Amino acid sequence: MVEKTEDAPVGAVPEDANQHCPGTEAEQAGKASACEGCPNQQICATAPKGPDPDLVAIEERMRTVKHKILVLSGKGGVGKSTFAAQLSFALAGLDKQIGLLDIDICGPSIPKMLGLEGQEIHQSNLGWSPVYVEDNLGVMSIGFMLPDPDEAVIWRGPRKNGLIKQFVKDVDWGDLDYLVVDAPPGTSDEHISIMQYLKASNVDGAIIVTTPQEVSLIDVRKEINFCKKVGIKVLGVVENMSELRQQLESAEFKSVDAQGEEQDVTNEVLDVLKSHAPHLLSSFVATSVFYGGAGGAEKMCKQIKVPFLGRIPLDPKLGKAADEGRSCFGDRDCSASAAALRTVINRILSVTEKGAGVSV
């Protein structure tokens, strides 16, 4: 039997918390006898506690940022960071002032995806300076602090939380139209910390990236439930890798004989097309990647009443652009994915600049 706590809870109380929860911001959060066996115990025990004097400084720093968007995913490998990078490129291409904050402390991939590997953070009397891709696109990541990009970051929660706080308190972001926050997969310390640090500065909401695969959609539902518990709007869900799509003329063709031997017949196929149907060479080849095909995310969104922002195909050229740290927009080779990305990003602009979104 848990002992009764007479004091009112400090901070939020998760829906699945034990009876007599002390609150997520209480000094005894995760440590009190009432916390034993609670599914939130470990997260509460490592999260920042009590009134934080730095919140005033963070709120002041964030006053110059008009819109703040979190990019989340229920699980890894769904293309969340690629989407966050291309979203930032696209917004900067619209002559908006953009900041991209990478809070994936243990797996920072944003420096590579923005073409900034090997860059270092500089400090001025105003604080840390972001690393700039262009004059209107600044980036901050722990990746700029590592002496070796292959070095593993093996940190416990409090140290991660401390660095994330520095990123929003000590970085001189300047006047921004959008701050895009690329978070790690799941619902862990980093997510709770960024929400606690930004809660007083009017976060627009979260974009959740998934694949059509049911395993990914299960975790998306958990991510949406997390947003509900911490009080953040879900701006919408993006279905990434909805299908494999590439230009026919850049595809490879194989034949496999009865013994399983593989033969490249690409030139033969393309020669036939050039001779008999040259107009088809600019067409796209599209095929499902996951069982059941595209549409799983949209169906889920209708069921739980959150916005569906659109589908983005799995495009090898987009993957190449990410590896090379460049935008896929304006690149003819990325035409299979760029149009879909533009549609999704236009919907995000419509939602954020109208102050819409769904509070779940």
> Is 107 part of any known ligand binding site?
no
Query: 193-197, 238-242, 286-290, 313-317 — which is least confidently predicted?
Result: 286-290
Is 129 in contact with 168 (CB distance < 8 Å)? no
> Is 50 part of any known ligand binding site?
no
Mean pLDDT of the region 27-48:
82
Q: How many CB atoms neighbour CB 131 within 10 A? A: 20
* Rounded-to-integer distance, Cα 294 and Cα 288, Å: 7
- For residue 9, the model assigns a pLDDT of 61
Mean pLDDT of the region 43-59:
78
Domain boundaries, the chain: 54-243+290-356, 245-285
Region label for 350, one of left (φ > 0), alpha (ψ between -120 and 50) or beta (otherwise): alpha
> Is 80 part of any known ligand binding site?
yes
Mean pLDDT of the region 156-181:
93
The pair of structure tokens assigned to 183 is 């978070």
* Rounded-to-integer distance, Cα 290 and Cα 196, Å: 36
- Is the pLDDT score of 7 beyond 60? no
The alpha carbon torsion through 208, 212, 215, 221 (nearest 10 deg) reads 40
> Is 78 part of any known ligand binding site?
yes
Which position has the higher pLDDT, 295 or 321?
321
* Rounded-to-integer distance, Cα 22 and Cα 42, Å: 14
Query: 32-41, 139-148, 302-311 — which is least confidently predicted?
Result: 32-41
The pair of structure tokens assigned to 173 is 């972001």
> Is 21 part of any known ligand binding site?
yes
DSSP 8-class letter at 168: H
- For residue 5, the model assigns a pLDDT of 39
- For residue 3, the model assigns a pLDDT of 38
* Rounded-to-integer distance, Cα 114 and Cα 137, Å: 10
**Which ranges in the chain belong to alpha helices (H)?**
41-46, 54-62, 80-93, 110-113, 157-169, 189-198, 214-230, 266-276, 296-304, 316-323, 335-353
Strands 137-140 and 98-102: parallel
Q: What are phi and psi of 180, to 5 degrees?
A: -100, 125
- Is the pLDDT score of 135 beyond 90? yes
> Is 11 part of any known ligand binding site?
no
> Is 76 part of any known ligand binding site?
yes
* Rounded-to-integer distance, Cα 181 and Cα 235, Å: 14
Mean pLDDT score across all residues of the chain: 88
Share of the chain above pLDDT 90, in %: 55
> Is 77 part of any known ligand binding site?
yes
> Is 106 part of any known ligand binding site?
no
* Rounded-to-integer distance, Cα 294 and Cα 53, Å: 47
> Is 227 part of any known ligand binding site?
no
Superfamily of domain 54-243+290-356: P-loop containing nucleotide triphosphate hydrolases (3.40.50.300)
End-to-end Cα distance, the chain:
33
Which candidate, 61, 250, 272, 87, places its Cα nearest to that of 167?
61
